[in-house]
């Protein structure tokens, strides 16, 4: 007997499963996340995940694919939203700050993929995150003009700001204690590092 065609209800379930997977994988990592728990949080059975995604690995890949594409879309949209170097830089930093705060599961996944070589998403990470970082670094270098010296370590500065922001987003109470009531103050860091203000 052939599988029935997926309906629009299935697409809604698909999205709910991806978001639940994002949160579970971000919190517990690939290996510790149980499909049964993800399915239960959405109100479906484990078989629904296997029906939509084939396997746990296929599900994880779909979660990462969607999350990284959404992150890249936020960065790309911010990069073209302003006319000046300053406007694009501020818009990009705000977009990243908002994304990491609203999507702590993605942030947890990114941190886990960097820190734990046993996490299986490194291929997608390389394919979807590194090109965005390369693009952002290239645009900043091309547009910086007198704001940055020729040998300024743009990539290191970007990663320092993003890492601070991501750790604050997933740090919970400890993150609030470490960064204090003002949070990571990303915009101030951007101003000082990239605009010389």
The pTM assigned to this predicted structure is 0.83
Dmax (CA) for the chain in angstroms is 67
pLDDT of residue 1: 47
Q: CB under 8 Å to 100, separation ≥6 — which residues?
A: 106, 107, 165, 166, 169
The pLDDT tens digits for 133-144 are 898 888 888 888
CA 36 – CA 108 distance, rounded (Å) = 20
Least confident of 31-35, 65-69, 192-196: 192-196
């Amino acid at each position: 007997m052939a599988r029935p065609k997926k309906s629009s209800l299935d697409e809604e379930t698909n999205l709910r499963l991806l978001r639940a997977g994002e949160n579970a994988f971000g919190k517990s990592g690939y290996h510790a996340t149980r499909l049964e728990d993800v399915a239960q949080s959405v109100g479906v059975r484990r078989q629904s995940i296997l029906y939509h995604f084939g396997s746990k690995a296929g599900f994880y890949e779909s979660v990462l694919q969607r999350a990284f594409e959404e992150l890249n879309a936020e960065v790309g949209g911010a990069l073209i939203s302003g006319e000046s170097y300053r406007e694009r830089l501020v818009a990009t930093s705000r977009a990243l700050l908002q994304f990491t705060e609203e999507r702590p599961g993605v942030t947890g996944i990114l941190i886990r993929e960097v820190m734990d070589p046993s996490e299986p998403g490194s291929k997608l990470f390389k394919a979807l995150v590194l090109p965005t970082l390369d693009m952002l670094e290239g645009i900043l270098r091309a547009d910086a003009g007198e704001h940055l010296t020729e040998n300024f370590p743009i990539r290191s500065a970007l990663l320092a700001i993003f890492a601070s922001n991501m750790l604050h987003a997933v740090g919970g109470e400890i993150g609030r204690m470490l960064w204090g009531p003002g949070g990571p103050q990303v915009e101030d860091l951007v101003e000082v590092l990239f605009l010389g203000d």
